[in-house]
Amino acid sequence: MSINEASQVFRQTLAAKELLKNVQGLIGDDEQAKTDVIEGETNLFEAIKSAVDAMDECDLLLDGIKSKAEVLEVRKHQTETRRDRLKANIEQALMTLELDAPIRLPTMTLTLRKTPRKIVVTDEALIPSKFWKKKPAPAPALDKKALTDALKDEAKIPGAELDNGGLAISIRRK
């Protein structure tokens, strides 16, 4: 509904309210008489019909936008998957070459770097309470930093371990 349509409904409503106040003594509580007076002396019902028609148009536009958004979401996912696959292929190629030095190209520098070991939680129920943060509802949270630090110090903690780390590609574009 445009501002003009909304203001038209508002103006006609005020006019109808004033009209009903002026004829209240003549028509009393007769609902049909009220409707007839409003319909005959104002454009309120036409303004309301126009506003409802505009709402229907908005619903059609929203349906179209929703449909297009779904198509674009699928396309976004496909593009992200393609990008991730390309990056994995580049990483695999660099690992196969076993190059330690960065590869400098005219528009970018590629570096294969080691990633730190990360925590792998195998069973939260086995992790001692000292590695849990006391939080209000809904539940306590695992203190992953404290847990990681303890595992790096060679502590044996049931329910958690560190992975072997890995390699990741860094692409700096110039």
| Mean confidence (pLDDT) of the chain | 84
pLDDT reading at 21 higher than 90: no
The whole-number pLDDT of residue 78 equals 97
Return d(Cα 83, Cα 92) in angstroms, integer: 14
When pLDDT is averaged across residues 73-88 and rounded to a whole number, the result is 96
Determine the average pLDDT of the residues in 121-147. Answer: 81
DSSP 4-48: HHHHHHHHHHHHHHHHHHHHHHHHTT-HHHHHHHHHHH-SHHHHH
Q: How far apart are CA 110 and CA 163, in angstroms?
A: 25
Contact 111, 169 (CB under 8 A): yes
- Amino acid sitting at position 54: A
Name the packing angle between helices 44-97 and 31-41 (round to 10°).
Answer: 80
CA-based nearest residue to 142, from 151, 157, 129: 129
What are the tens digits of pLDDT across the range 62-79? 999 999 999 999 999 999
First-last CA distance in the chain: 49
Task: Show Cβ contacts of residue 173 under 8 Å, excluding neighbours closer than 6 positions.
Answer: 107, 108
Distance CA 52, CA 102 (A): 64
Q: Which of 103, 128, 114, 90 is nearest to 164 (CA)?
A: 114
Q: Is the pLDDT of residue 1 over 60?
A: no
